[in-house]
Amino acid sequence: MAFDSRAFRDALGAFPTGVAVITASGAQRPIGITVNSFASVSLDPPLVLWCMDKRSQRHEAFTAAPGFTVSILGTGHREVSSRLARPGEHSLDGLPLTATELGPPGLTDSLAIFECAREKTFDGGDHTILLGRVLRFSRKLEGPPLVFFRGKYSALAQSKPPEGAAGRPTDKD
């Protein structure tokens, strides 16, 4: 029996992920790409990772860049995410950007921005795994995240933690 890649992809889609835009310095100007593969790796040292499809037109630019900036998207960034998820050159022209010390800009009003020096790259099948050392970061205190679930954008339902969970007062408090 052959491995069903489409069914595998659909099964992976049952895991909701956040959405981020990664920016790097391109040959002439900064470029960006939407990813849902961003993850924390280590607090000490502060490391994060994301994965890049080797078939992407931007693969070489991102894997050769000495660093990258990660912008964690909120629900208001849906159009930006869609724009940078499509094939093409992915210029950041016309987007509201925030300057960084590293160089590649962050997206204005992102829930968090991480400036990362490229630590290592690893082969990951049809993707390259990019490991970055976080040099600086900033975050907003509030805002709903943009979520990707079963092939579609979604929002995270905000609810109170279950009764008795840490951080939630009970009637006895």
Q: What is the pLDDT of residues 31-77, one digit of tens each?
A: 999 999 999 999 999 999 999 999 998 999 999 999 999 999 999 99
Confidence at residue 161, expressed as pLDDT on a 0 to 100 scale: 59
Give the type of residue at 142.
E
CATH topology of domain 9-147: Pnp Oxidase; Chain A (2.30.110)
Confidence at residue 173, expressed as pLDDT on a 0 to 100 scale: 45
Q: Which residue would you say has higher pLDDT here, 12 or 118?
A: 118
Among candidates 24, 51, 23, which has minimal Cα distance to 37?
A: 51
Residue 125 CA to residue 9 CA, distance in Å, equals 15
Examine the pLDDT at 28 and tell me if it is beyond 90.
no
Examine the pLDDT at 13 and tell me if it is beyond 50.
yes
Model-level pTM? 0.86
66 CB burial (10 A radius; 0-12, 13-18, 19+): exposed
Of these ranges, 120-129, 138-147, 164-173, the one predicted with the greatest mean pLDDT is 120-129
The string of pLDDT tens digits covering residues 91-130 is 899 999 999 999 999 999 999 999 999 999 999 999 999 9
Confidence at residue 60, expressed as pLDDT on a 0 to 100 scale: 93
Tokens of 138: 């900033």
Q: Which SS3 state, helix, strand or coil, does residue 85 take?
A: helix
131 CB burial (10 A radius; 0-12, 13-18, 19+): middle
Q: What is the tally of helices (H) and strands (E) in the chain?
A: 3, 12
